[in-house]
């Protein structure tokens, strides 16, 4: 059956003689759509009250017409925001999106309190597939190449299948502007004072009537960050390298694009070990039972300062190549994608044998998809298509095996339609998904040459342990969505959306039985899990005027068979922690409920020219509905990893000058308030409460023009202006503590302190 699916897809790929690429439901704006008002071109309209939403929803459309909750982060906002990585940039500018952090360069997206395999990340329409099951596994993307982004909040399984039950983060890379025939480029340089981050990026490209080409490269290095409590935090530096290349052909009926990228990251991972009296960080020098996390030697100043990384780190290499197309075939638009990516992850965790990886995984993924769109009339259109992926994940030369080798095949088909009639905009769709996950018997045993564990291969399994028995699982389910937008008048509009999401259990949730050495967690899975399903209701109201924009989005989601982690205790009722500080977590399944809202406000007073006041507020609550936890509050009733109430505000002043070499100047002051999180999972010491904090930031920037199209943009920001010592409740470093008490009363590692950042962009 799989062969028939692939044969059908490959035949469809080459329907057009110029189509050496196909694309997913388009992530590019289709300017051929004939609506009651025309869509703008593919350059985002800054300051427009009706921003174009470019999503996988068959065709582009105006944000005010879309019943689904989607937040757009524009190129201007990304350029003006300075952060450690692209996910931090987006979380600062999108209410409802938060990040689970392991130091400055690892940020996993969470949407409305849900993360991991429930949030799907797209890069130019391609599913980003790495080892995203791990707590400390980041995103393998060049943030300097991201032009704009969209965050879909709520189940998006209808068009993307499993793993989008919480939402989608869609990243859109930059491509040269339409047909100027000139070579254009950009050189970017960035510095951050707290960890000495040095970054540079360059891209060069050209777009003519029929052809496009572009090349890009970037390099980022950083040392250990610091804060007022911990000083320099050992093992928080990194070194990241990116390369990219794109080429495309444009014709009267569409385009074909081919893209390739390379990502390489050397990432230090802290374990938080330190001296109990001085609170100075210590380092691991022994392996196994010879190592005691509370008796390690202290880290020297030479290791705390500078850019050198210790031998205990992660090495991640990610290759991506994909081709996509969008073509007009008679009355249909054909859009689709086919791509291949390979993620290689090595975690070096043995100080006595620094070349021996503790974890070594290679994940290969083939992504595919095709869909057809048909405009029935000026007010109606529909699309149908299929998409999915094939994966193979295997261990290489490792000593720890948290999950077995596996193969995975996804296939899904959907039908989606939109209707516009006077003040009404209706969208509806239905999808069916199927996933097959298979493994074979996986044996491990002692390696006589180094004293660690190794994989044994059948039939040479004498004396080995069957760590992972073979499994063959078939999951299937349906997704649907029904949404409506009603424009009350030119200013007010109402939105309602009802959606059903679906997610198949991941390999870690089903079959994990071992240590993830980088996360310092031993995972235990359960093969009897059922797929997660959800019903979500979204209700939105918005007000739009030239001076004022305001919107409120409320949501309620009930999940069946919700999979979550709980920490395990030993026979004495104590948390299971071994000599290296590794904890044991067990996956469990129950029903759950999440509910909350996001509100946004933007005021541009006409009497105060170029002043902008904006604010956002987000709230989410999560409840475990298992009967045995009812009424027990933080002893099991409240879900883990739920962000607290978050309130942000910005005051921005712009000056448009008459100086020909300095086009504008802007200054902004902002704050970020996180309320105390007292609704946490205290059961088995899984989480602790988190105190409230308020951060203040300042920034200014200017753009200078030097004849023609040559411009220089300068950005300067001071984050955490008053050097506040704080802990975010989604920071994993908060829980790296191995003592009951400390001399200064602090527990765990604190977030980054004051940080002065500079960014310079030269465009030509």
Domains and CATH numbers, the chain: 179-763 (2.40.170.20)
Whether 27 shows a pLDDT value over 50: the answer reads no
Closest CA to 203 of 254, 251, 259: 259
d(CA 479, CA 668): 43
Closest CA to 162 of 397, 497, 431: 431
The answer to whether the CB of 270 falls within 8 A of the CB of 234 is yes
User: What does the pLDDT look like over 188-236, one tens digit per residue?
Assistant: 999 999 999 999 999 999 999 899 999 999 999 999 999 999 999 999 9
The structure tokens listed for 711 are 């411009």
The answer to whether the CB of 431 falls within 8 A of the CB of 161 is yes
DSSP annotation of 522 reads E
The answer to whether the CB of 540 falls within 8 A of the CB of 509 is no
Longest distance between any two alpha carbons in the chain, whole Å:
83
In this prediction, residue 740 has a pLDDT band, given cuts at 50, 70 and 90, of confident
d(CA 339, CA 27): 15
Burial of residue 128, with CB atoms counted within 10 A of its CB: 0-12 exposed, 13-18 middle, 19 or more buried: buried
CA atoms within 13 A on the CB side of 52: 22
Radius of gyration of the chain, Cα coordinates, nearest whole angstrom: 26
- Listed in sequence order, the residues at least 6 apart from 491 whose beta carbon sits closer than 8 Å to its beta carbon are 543, 544, 545
User: What does the pLDDT look like over 107-119, one tens digit per residue?
Assistant: 999 999 999 999 9
What pLDDT does residue 60 have?
A: 61
What's the sign of the alpha-carbon dihedral 19, 123, 168, 597?
Answer: negative
d(CA 380, CA 425): 10
Burial of residue 209, with CB atoms counted within 10 A of its CB: 0-12 exposed, 13-18 middle, 19 or more buried: exposed
Q: Which of 102-106, 272-276, 705-709 has the least mean pLDDT? A: 705-709
The DSSP result for 382-417, as a single string, is EEEEEEEEEEEEEE-S-S--SS--EEEEEEEEEEEE
The answer to whether the CB of 401 falls within 8 A of the CB of 395 is yes
DSSP annotation of 11 reads H
Give the residue, 62 or 307, on which the prediction is more confident. 307
User: Hey, which residues does 319 pair with through a beta bridge?
Assistant: 262, 342
Secondary structure of residue 10 in the 3-state scheme: helix
d(CA 104, CA 582): 22
What pLDDT does residue 179 have?
A: 67
Task: Give the mean pLDDT of 537-551.
Answer: 94
Q: Which of 49-63, 182-196, 367-381, 542-556 has the least mean pLDDT? A: 49-63
Whether 704 shows a pLDDT value over 90: the answer reads no
The DSSP result for 327-365, as a single string, is EEETTEEEEEEEEEEEEEEEEE--TTSTTSEEEEEEEEE
User: Hey, which residues does 70 pair with through a beta bridge?
Assistant: 152
What pLDDT does residue 461 have?
A: 85
Burial of residue 301, with CB atoms counted within 10 A of its CB: 0-12 exposed, 13-18 middle, 19 or more buried: exposed
Q: Indicate the pTM of the whole model.
A: 0.90
d(CA 149, CA 74): 7
In this prediction, residue 35 has a pLDDT band, given cuts at 50, 70 and 90, of very low
Q: How many CB atoms lie within 10 A of CB 654?
A: 14
User: What does the pLDDT look like over 384-402, one tens digit per residue?
Assistant: 999 999 999 999 999 999 9
CA-angle at 312, arms to 310 and 316, nearest 5°: 105
In this prediction, residue 58 has a pLDDT band, given cuts at 50, 70 and 90, of low
Closest CA to 598 of 536, 550, 546, 670: 550
Whether 48 shows a pLDDT value over 50: the answer reads no
The pairing of strands 226-227 and 646-656 is: unpaired
- Listed in sequence order, the residues at least 6 apart from 745 whose beta carbon sits closer than 8 Å to its beta carbon are none
Task: Give the mean pLDDT of 258-281.
Answer: 95
Give the residue, 759 or 658, on which the prediction is more confident. 759
d(CA 266, CA 269): 10
CA atoms within 13 A on the CB side of 363: 23
d(CA 203, CA 185): 5
User: What does the pLDDT look like over 502-536, one tens digit per residue?
Assistant: 999 999 999 999 888 877 888 899 999 999 999 99
d(CA 296, CA 280): 11
DSSP annotation of 201 reads E
The answer to whether the CB of 618 falls within 8 A of the CB of 597 is yes
Categorise residue 467: left if φ over 0, alpha if ψ from -120 to 50, beta otherwise.
alpha
Secondary structure of residue 41 in the 3-state scheme: coil
Q: Which of 101-115, 341-355, 435-449, 703-717 has the least mean pLDDT? A: 703-717
CA atoms within 13 A on the CB side of 601: 12
d(CA 756, CA 190): 11
- Residue tagged 């902008």 (tokens): 612
CA distances from 246 to 19, 213, 259, 468 (A): 15, 6, 4, 41
In this prediction, residue 55 has a pLDDT band, given cuts at 50, 70 and 90, of low
What pLDDT does residue 12 have?
A: 37
Closest CA to 332 of 278, 382, 270: 382
Closest CA to 68 of 402, 616, 501, 360: 501
- Listed in sequence order, the residues at least 6 apart from 560 whose beta carbon sits closer than 8 Å to its beta carbon are 532, 533, 534, 591
What pLDDT does residue 61 have?
A: 63
Mean pLDDT of the chain: 88
The answer to whether the CB of 625 falls within 8 A of the CB of 590 is yes
d(CA 369, CA 24): 5
What pLDDT does residue 515 have?
A: 84
User: Hey, which residues does 364 pair with through a beta bridge?
Assistant: 342, 392
What is the per-residue burial (b if ≥16 Cβ within 10 Å, else e) of 629-639?
Answer: beeeebebbbb
What pLDDT does residue 659 have?
A: 78
């Amino acid at each position: 059956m799989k062969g028939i699916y692939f044969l059908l897809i490959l035949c469809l790929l080459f329907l057009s003689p110029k189509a050496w690429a196909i694309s997913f439901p388009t992530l590019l704006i289709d300017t051929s759509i004939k609506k009651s008002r025309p869509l703008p071109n593919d350059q985002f309209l800054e300051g427009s009250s009706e921003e174009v939403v470019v999503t996988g929803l068959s065709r582009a459309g105006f944000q005010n017409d879309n019943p689904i909750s989607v937040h757009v982060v524009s190129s201007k906002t990304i350029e003006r925001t300075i952060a450690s990585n692209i996910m931090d940039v987006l979380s600062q500018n999108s209410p409802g999106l938060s990040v689970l952090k392991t130091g400055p360069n690892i940020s996993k997206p969470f949407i409305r309190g849900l993360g991991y395999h429930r949030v799907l990340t797209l890069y130019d329409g391609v599913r980003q597939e790495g080892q995203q099951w791990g707590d400390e596994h980041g995103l393998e993307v060049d943030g300097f190449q991201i032009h704009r982004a969209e965050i879909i909040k709520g189940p998006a399984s209808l068009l993307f299948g499993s793993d989008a039950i919480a939402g989608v983060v869609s990243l859109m890379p930059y491509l040269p502007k339409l047909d100027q025939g000139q070579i254009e480029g950009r050189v970017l340089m960035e510095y951050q004072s707290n960890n000495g981050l040095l970054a540079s990026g360059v891209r060069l490209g050209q777009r003519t009537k029929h052809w496009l080409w572009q090349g890009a490269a970037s390099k980022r290095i950083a040392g250990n960050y610091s804060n007022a409590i911990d000083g320099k935090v050992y093992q928080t530096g990194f070194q990241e390298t990116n390369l990219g290349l794109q080429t495309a052909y444009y014709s009267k009926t569409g385009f074909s694009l081919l893209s390739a990228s390379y990502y390489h990251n050397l990432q230090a991972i802290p374990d938080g070990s330190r001296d109990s009296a001085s609170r100075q960080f210590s380092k691991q020098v022994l392996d196994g039972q010879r190592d005691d996390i509370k008796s390690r030697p202290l880290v020297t100043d030479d290791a705390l300062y500078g850019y050198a990384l210790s031998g205990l780190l992660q090495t991640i290499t990610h290759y991506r190549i994909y081709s996509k197309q969008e073509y007009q075939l008679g009355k249909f638009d054909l859009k689709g994608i086919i791509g291949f990516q390979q993620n290689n992850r090595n975690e070096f965790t043995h100080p006595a044998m620094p070349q021996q990886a503790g974890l070594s995984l290679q994940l290969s993924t083939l992504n595919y998809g095709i869909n057809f769109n048909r405009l029935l009339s000026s007010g109606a259109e529909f699309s149908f298509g299929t998409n999915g992926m094939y994966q193979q994940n295997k261990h290489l030369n490792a000593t720890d095996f948290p999950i077995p080798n596996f193969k995975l095949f996804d296939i899904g088909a959907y039908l989606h339609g939109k209707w516009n009639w006077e003040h009404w905009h209706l969208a509806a769709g239905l999808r069916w998904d199927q996933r097959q996950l298979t493994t074979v018997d996986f044996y491990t045993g002692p390696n006589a040459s180094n004293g660690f564990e190794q994989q044994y291969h059948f039939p040479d399994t004498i004396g080995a342990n069957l760590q992972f028995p073979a499994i063959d699982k078939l999951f299937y389910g349906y997704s649907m969505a029904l949404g409506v937008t009603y424009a009350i008048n030119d200013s007010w509009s109402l939105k309602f959306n009802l959606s059903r999401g679906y997610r198949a259990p991941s390999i870690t949730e089903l079959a994990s039985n071992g240590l993830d050495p980088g996360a310092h967690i031993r995972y235990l899975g359960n093969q009897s899990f059922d797929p997660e399903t959800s019903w979500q209701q979204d209700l939105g109201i918005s007000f739009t005027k030239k001076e004022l924009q305001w919107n409120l989005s409320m949501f309620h989601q009930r999940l069946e068979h919700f999979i979550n982690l709980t920490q395990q205790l030993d026979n004495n009722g104590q948390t299971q922690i071994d000599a290296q500080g590794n904890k044991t977590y067990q996956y469990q399944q129950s029903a759950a409920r999440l509910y909350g809202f996001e509100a946004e406000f933007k005021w541009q007073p006409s009497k105060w020219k170029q002043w902008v006041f904006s604010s956002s507020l987000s709230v989410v609550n999560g409840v475990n509905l298992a009967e045995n936890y009812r009424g027990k509050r933080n002893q099991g009733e409240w879900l883990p990893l739920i962000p607290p109430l978050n309130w942000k505000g910005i005051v921005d002043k712009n000056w448009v000058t008459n100086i020909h070499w300095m086009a504008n100047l802007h200054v902004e002051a902002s704050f970020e308030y996180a309320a105390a999180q007292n609704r946490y999972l205290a059961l088995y010491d899984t989480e602790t409460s988190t105190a409230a904090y308020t951060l203040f930031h300042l920034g200014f920037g200017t753009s200078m023009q030097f004849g023609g199209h040559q411009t220089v943009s300068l950005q300067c920001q001071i984050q955490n202006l008053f050097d506040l010592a704080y802990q975010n409740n989604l920071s994993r470093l908060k829980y790296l503590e191995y003592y009951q008490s400390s001399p200064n009363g602090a527990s765990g590692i604190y977030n980054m302190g004051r940080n002065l950042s500079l960014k310079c962009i030269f465009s030509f």
